Amino acid sequence: MCPAELKLGKKIFPPISKCDLSSVSHRSIAADLDGTLLKASIPFLYYVLVAIEAGSILRGLIIILSFPALAIVSIFFSEELAQKILVFLAFSGIKVSNLEIASRAVLPRFYAADVRSDSLGVFNSCRRKVVVTANPTLMVDAFAKEFLGADKVLGTEIEVDPWTKRATGLVKAPGILVGKLKKLAVLKEFGEDLPDIGLGDRKSDYDFMSICKEGYLVPRDHSASIASPYRLKNQFIFHNVNDNHLHQRSTLIAYIHLQFKFILSFLRVYFNLSLLNGIIRSAIRSLS
């Protein structure tokens, strides 16, 4: 068995490289997003970006500082709990209209620079395309439909206060879409005509992959090829930005870094002045 092949019960999931699209007519697909259609397996930076764009730099800083705690929760407790905390930190109290603007106008240019070439090829080969993700639907819906050509996004639904039109930071039932909840969402969406192909990259994807006619694993590969932006369904964002580096995923980190640069400069000035003040006081005491 290939090292990338994993077994769940009687199901064996070969790597995506073994998906032969020329020999079989695939009509439908259900694919995970992070680590599957996207090269990045952790959506953390995208949450930070939304928090900054729709909320504030301070909110983004809080999320960045919470990363070690979130990693511990995800590894030692549950992926679902870590995601709930992340959603709360990123969305609570923010106007839904601001979240929608950030998700439609800002996120796609960074998502588009992180699409895996091999996964996109399989995804594009199918007529009915559904994205299954633990991320909030509001966050990925615009990108998945307009740039990947997805017909539907099955994701986590966030709770909104009907009076203030702000996100509460909580999620609607049944909760974060991971594990068995992904499987139930796919069953509800497809009914008896289950997907021909299921794509995933982690253990929490095995449940929905196991009910697809064929399941393929997308192995984590830091050197995996990124899809050309011209293979996407919409290239509007690439013709309307002056900075070509936005096509590279590394600029997501650079962009967030720039947002905090001025905060760090203020802190540096503050501590330098405090140190200088202490030195002056010590000098005055020694002279008196």
Neighbours of 135 (CB within 10 A): 23
Separation of alpha carbons 196 and 20, rounded Å: 13
pTM for this prediction:
0.81
Provide the residue-wise pLDDT of the chain in tens; the chain has 288 residues.
444 454 444 567 999 999 887 755 678 999 999 999 999 888 988 998 899 889 888 888 888 888 889 989 988 989 899 999 999 999 999 999 999 999 998 899 889 989 999 999 999 999 999 999 999 999 999 999 999 999 999 999 999 999 999 999 999 999 999 999 999 999 999 999 999 999 999 999 999 999 999 999 999 988 889 998 889 988 655 544 444 433 444 445 555 555 555 455 544 544 454 444 554 455 445 545
Report pLDDT for 276: 46
The pLDDT assigned to 147 comes to 94
Q: Give the CA count within 13 Å in the CB-facing half-sphere of 134.
A: 27
State how far the alpha carbon of 90 is from the alpha carbons of 45, 47, 95, 105, in Å. 11, 6, 12, 17
Please report, for residues 206, 213, 223, the alpha-carbon distance to residue 193 in angstroms, rounded to integers and kept in the order given.
19, 10, 36
pLDDT of amino acid 159: 97
For residues 157 and 222, is the Cβ–Cβ distance under 8 A?
Answer: no
One-letter identity of residue 259: Q
- pLDDT at residue number 25: 64
H-run or E-run covering 210: helix 206-210
Question: Which contacts of 12-17 are long-range, i.e. CB under 8 A and separated by 24 or more positions?
Answer: 13/200, 13/206, 13/209, 13/215, 13/216, 13/217, 14/216, 14/217, 15/216, 15/217, 15/218, 15/219, 16/118, 16/119, 16/122, 16/199, 16/216, 16/217, 16/218, 16/219, 17/118
CA 68 – CA 213 distance, rounded (Å): 38
Question: Within a 10 A sphere around the Cβ of 21, how many other Cβ atoms?
Answer: 13
Residue 195, helix vs strand vs coil: coil
Give the Cα-Cα-Cα angle 120, 12, 74 (nearest 5 degrees): 70
Place of tokens 């979240």: 99
pLDDT value of residue 1: 45
What pLDDT is recorded for position 216? 96
